[in-house]
Structure formats: structure tokens, C-alpha cells
């Protein structure tokens, strides 16, 4: 190769080298552009909470670990931002120089999440703690437990038991889902709840005498009544007057939205023989699809809008709370907004609600019209807005006809007749006023509270087995093979006691029911 040829080759190779470096520059620019979109997410301990973290990373390391995976940890919301308490709050105490409270109530979360707080407080979830006068409560407090502590039968080997806490079943059972009424022990042995403290609209107690009675430990901490705390029931009645617990669904301390989107989260409470929503969902096609495609449903996403971020299957959250394409992706923390039947009572009611969100039980149509603030049709339409992402309106209308027919069948064939029979027994004095002391009361309870509810829930969420074999079949069996015979037995017994008129009154109610065409099969040839 001649010299000049070599020079030329060098020149050309030089430019090729330069070209490859241009490609390097291009790669660098692309890399930076890609990087700019993915900001790295770092855990940042805000200055206010540094001391908390320094100590608690040794004493309760898992709490710090959980918090680190929360969104709070990347935006500078640390321990103190949530646990800070005004020294005037009933449960505040000084902890290494900072005024904090152990329990973080929805009012505390509302400092940043005001709108969610408003929606939640208006919802039925927040009212879950108000079961004190209910049948369920009586069952747990009196039938399963005792209203007063009582002396043990005999010593417990290896332990010394002074008195038996009759409220243990309530505290561990009902209250853990429904929410306890948080109580602090008083220096005089009384219990101090929000009733005694009378908090104002800022959550601070107005009754300072009650505050003065708060029993505290040596380092100033209020002593919580053990039966009421720990508790994250969704309707917990807090000392600051707010109702509920955000951590019921958004478990602390990672407050994971991902978890709240999954049916297992709701399933902590919405399961069991009396309202098996979790099992029903798992049986339904929705649940089958979810189980299969869960990993593709973008559960970790910042946004979770049906139709945009996922569409494989609905979860509890999807239908009852989450945002979707037809409502601008807006989440509601009031699941009641989309429910058109309430299947909780013995006889299902249409969810016409008044200005306070309470179901209207008024029968007169004119009065109803006056009271209604949100109709059941409007609620159903909100639900249909979700369904219609996957289902056409013919499909939806057909489904709702099937559902409505089912609920009405239950109402008319079993619920109303059963109610009439029980009322007749009560008004005629054939059963005592006390609940659950006679077998028929348990029978009726099973029929509407367990089997009847299962049937209706199964129909509402497309679980045929729960609607039928675990549902209506058992309702029917309970009705024909237990309720009717037991009621007749009471009548026979009353007659033997000489209460012929009462007995006959009840017998007439039963006979009238069984004479109806839908029951005629039972006794006709």
C-alpha cells in the first residue's frame, strides 16, 4: 500500500471512528431521556421523625421496614407527621420531647386526606361500630359472654384466674371487624370513651373533668382498656369523635393501596356464614378470572382505573369503590353509593337514602318522595357504569332482573311470612320477649341472618351455589322443616296451657301463609 493510500485509509478510518462516537453520543442521550422519566424513588426520613426512626429501627424494626415501602416514605411523611398530637387531645402524651398519640384516627389522616375522610365518615362502614343495641351484640355480649365479670368455676392449672371477662367474645369477635368504642381507664375505675370526653369538631375533649380522670403510666401514657385497644375495626369509635379506622383497609404502616385493591383485604371481615362475600366472589366468574390474571392487573400502579390501568377482572374495590373510565377515575370511599338493595335486614329494602345516608323505611310513597336524597335507581346506575365496561346493557338489565326477582322471591316467600309468624308469636305471648332463649328464635335467626343473607348475596354476585344450595335450599328447609313445625309446637303448647285464643291466632297466621299458592305444595295432596 502506498503512503498516500495509507494516509487516505487513516483519514477514512478516522471518520468511521468519529461516526461510531456519534452513535455513542446518541446512546447516551437516549439513556438520559429514558432515565428522566423514571425518577428513582428513595426513602427519605424527614427531620421531624429522625429520632423516632433511630430508636425504633432497633426496637420495632419491622415497623420501619413497612413504612419504607409506603408512599409516605418517599414524600417526607414520617412517624411524627401522623402520630403528632395536640397536648389538649385526650390520648396525647410526651414521648422523648414530642407530643404524640398512639392511635392515629381518621381525623388525623384527614389532615392530608380530607375528601376521603368526608366520604368515609358518611359511609356505612363508618357506622359499623354502632351495633351496641343490635341482635348481634346481644348474642355476643350475653348469650356467648356475660355483661358482668363472673367468678370462674374452678382453678385453671398453671394460672390464677380471678374473674372471667364476659366481654371477651365481643372484644375479639364482633369488635375486631365492627370496631370497638375506644376506652381509656379512669383513675376511679370507670371507662372513659368519647361519650365522656364529648369532643368538639376538632376532636378535642370539652369535658375536662373526664380528662382529669385519665389513668396514666409513669411516663405519661394513657392506659387503654385492653378490650378496646388494639382494634382496627372499620367502625371504631375514636376518642376524638371520628368513626372508623383507615388502617382497617390500608394496613399500617405501609398503607398499601395495592392491598386495598385485592379481595382478600375486604375478606378479613366480609366472609363467613352470614355474609360470605369473599367465598361468593371466589366462586363467581369474576373471582376465577381474578385468580388467573391477578399478576397482569397492574395492582402496583399509582392509578388504578378500570379500563385504563386494568380490565382483566373486577375485584371488590373495582365495583364498589374504585375509579373507572366513566367517572373520570374517581375513587369513592363510600361503597354504599353503588348499592341498590340492602340485604342486611330480614326483609331486603330498596336503598333509597335520605340526606343523612340512612335507608328510608317509610312505606307511604308520598312521604318517601319527600325524604329521598339519593334513589336506589341512581345507585344502581352508578354500579352499572362499572359493569358496562365489560357487559352490554341487555346483559346488565337481564342480570338485574334475575337478581331483583330472586330478592323479591326470598322476600315474599320466606322473609315476610317468617317475620309475620315471629311477630304473631311475640304479640300473642307464645314466646318470651327475651331473645335467643327459645329454639325458634335461633331458627329464625339462621333463616334470615345466615341462610337468607347468603342466598341474597350469592344472587347479587353471581355465585349460583351460594344462591341455591348454600342459600335458598337451606332457607326453604329451615322454613318448612323447622320454623313452621316449631311455631305450630308453640301453638300446641299454648293450647295445652289454656291459651287457646292466642294459639289459634298464631295457627291462623301460619295456615294463611301455607294456603297461598306458593306454599300450597306443602300440605296439599
Residues that bind other proteins (CB under 8 A): 1-18, 20-25, 27-28, 31, 35, 42-48, 50-51, 53-55, 57-59, 61, 64, 68, 73-77, 81, 96-98, 111-112, 114
* CA angle at 458 for the pair 454 and 460, rounded to the nearest 5°: 120
Place of cell 308520598: 366
d(CA 53, CA 63): 9
Minimum distance from residue 302 beta carbon to other proteins (Å): 13
Are residues 106 and 246 in contact, defined by beta-carbon separation less than 8 angstroms?
Answer: yes
CA distances from 458 to 124, 266, 370, 451, 478 (A): 21, 16, 33, 10, 18
Minimum distance from residue 253 beta carbon to other proteins (Å): 14
Minimum distance from residue 219 beta carbon to other proteins (Å): 10
Q: Name the residue nearer to other proteins (CB basis): 60 or 300.
A: 60
Are residues 91 and 204 in contact, defined by beta-carbon separation less than 8 angstroms?
Answer: no
Residue 429 neighbours by CB under 8 Å, 6+ apart: 499, 502
Minimum distance from residue 451 beta carbon to other proteins (Å): 45
d(CA 188, CA 410): 52
Q: Name the residue nearer to other proteins (CB basis): 62 or 288.
A: 62
Q: Name the residue nearer to other proteins (CB basis): 64 or 177.
A: 64
Minimum distance from residue 77 beta carbon to other proteins (Å): 5
Q: Name the residue nearer to other proteins (CB basis): 68 or 252.
A: 68
Residue 426 neighbours by CB under 8 Å, 6+ apart: 433
Minimum distance from residue 201 beta carbon to other proteins (Å): 16
Buried b / exposed e across 274-286, counting CB within 10 Å, b at 16+? Answer: bbbbbbbbbbbeb
Q: Name the residue nearer to other proteins (CB basis): 240 or 282.
A: 240
Are residues 49 and 81 in contact, defined by beta-carbon separation less than 8 angstroms?
Answer: yes
Minimum distance from residue 265 beta carbon to other proteins (Å): 23
Q: Name the residue nearer to other proteins (CB basis): 53 or 502.
A: 53
Residue 12 neighbours by CB under 8 Å, 6+ apart: none
Minimum distance from residue 108 beta carbon to other proteins (Å): 12
Q: Which H, E and C letters describe 195-209, residue by residue? A: HHHCECCCCCECCHH
Q: Name the residue nearer to other proteins (CB basis): 254 or 474.
A: 254
Cell (9 digits) for 128: 359499623
Q: Name the residue nearer to other proteins (CB basis): 178 or 333.
A: 333
Amino acid at each position: 500500500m502506498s503512503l498516500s493510500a495509507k494516509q487516505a485509509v487513516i483519514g477514512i478510518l478516522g471518520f468511521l471512528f468519529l461516526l461510531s462516537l456519534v452513535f455513542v453520543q446518541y446512546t447516551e442521550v437516549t439513556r438520559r431521556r429514558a432515565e428522566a422519566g423514571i425518577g428513582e424513588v428513595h426513602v427519605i426520613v424527614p427531620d421531624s421523625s429522625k429520632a423516632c426512626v433511630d430508636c425504633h429501627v432497633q426496637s420495632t424494626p419491622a415497623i420501619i421496614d413497612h413504612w419504607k415501602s409506603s408512599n409516605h416514605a418517599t414524600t417526607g411523611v414520617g412517624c411524627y407527621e401522623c402520630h403528632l398530637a395536640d397536648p389538649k387531645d385526650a390520648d396525647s402524651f410526651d414521648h422523648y420531647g414530642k407530643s404524640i398519640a398512639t392511635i392515629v384516627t381518621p381525623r388525623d389522616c384527614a389532615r392530608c386526606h380530607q375528601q376521603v375522610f368526608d366520604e368515609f365518615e358518611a359511609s356505612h362502614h363508618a357506622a359499623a361500630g354502632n351495633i351496641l343495641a343490635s341482635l348481634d351484640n346481644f348474642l355476643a355480649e350475653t348469650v356467648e359472654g356475660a355483661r358482668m365479670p363472673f367468678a370462674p368455676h374452678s382453678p385453671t392449672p398453671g394460672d390464677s384466674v380471678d374473674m372471667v371477662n364476659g366481654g371477651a367474645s365481643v372484644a375479639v369477635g364482633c369488635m375486631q371487624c365492627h370496631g370497638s368504642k375506644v376506652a381509656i381507664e379512669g383513675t376511679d375505675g370507670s371507662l372513659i370513651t368519647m361519650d365522656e370526653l364529648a369532643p368538639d369538631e376538632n376532636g378535642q375533649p370539652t369535658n375536662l373533668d373526664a380528662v382529669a380522670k385519665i389513668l396514666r403510666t409513669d411516663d405519661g401514657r394513657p392506659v387503654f382498656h385492653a378490650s378496646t385497644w388494639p382494634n382496627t375495626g372499620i367502625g371504631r369509635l375514636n376518642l376524638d369523635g371520628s368513626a372508623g379506622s383507615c388502617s382497617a383497609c390500608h394496613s399500617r404502616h405501609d398503607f398499601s393501596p395495592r392491598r386495598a385493591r385485592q379481595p382478600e383485604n375486604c375478606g378479613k371481615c366480609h366472609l363467613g356464614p352470614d355474609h360470605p362475600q369473599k367465598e361468593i366472589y371466589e366462586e363467581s366468574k369474576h373471582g376465577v378470572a381474578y385468580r388467573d390474571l391477578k399478576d397482569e392487573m397492574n395492582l402496583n400502579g399509582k392509578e388504578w382505573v378500570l379500563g385504563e390501568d386494568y380490565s382483566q377482572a373486577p375485584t371488590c374495590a373495582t365495583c364498589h369503590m374504585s375509579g373507572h373510565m366513566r367517572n373520570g377515575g374517581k375513587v369513592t370511599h363510600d361503597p354504599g353509593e353503588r348499592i341498590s338493595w340492602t340485604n342486611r335486614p330480614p326483609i331486603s329494602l330498596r336503598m333509597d337514602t335520605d340526606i343523612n345516608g340512612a335507608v328510608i323505611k317509610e312505606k307511604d310513597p308520598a312521604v318517601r318522595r319527600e325524604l329521598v336524597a339519593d334513589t336506589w335507581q341512581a345507585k344502581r346506575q352508578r354500579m352499572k357504569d362499572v359493569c358496562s365496561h365489560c357487559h352490554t346493557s341487555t346483559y346488565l338489565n337481564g342480570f338485574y332482573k334475575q337478581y331483583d326477582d330472586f330478592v323479591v322471591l326470598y322476600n315474599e316467600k320466606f322473609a315476610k311470612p317468617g317475620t309475620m309468624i315471629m311477630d304473631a308469636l311475640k304479640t300473642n305471648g307464645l314466646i318470651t320477649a327475651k331473645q335467643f332463649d327459645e329454639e325458634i328464635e335461633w331458627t329464625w335467626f339462621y333463616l334470615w341472618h345466615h341462610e337468607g343473607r347468603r342466598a341474597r348475596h350469592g344472587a347479587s354476585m353471581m355465585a349460583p351455589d351460594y344462591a341455591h344450595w348454600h342459600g335458598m335450599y337451606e332457607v326453604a328447609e329451615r322454613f318448612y322443616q323447622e320454623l313452621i313445625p316449631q311455631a305450630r309446637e308453640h301453638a300446641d303448647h299454648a293450647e295445652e296451657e289454656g291459651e287457646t285464643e292466642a294459639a289459634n291466632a298464631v295457627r291462623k297466621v301460619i295456615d294463611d301463609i301455607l294456603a297461598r299458592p306458593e306454599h300450597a305444595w306443602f300440605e296439599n295432596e
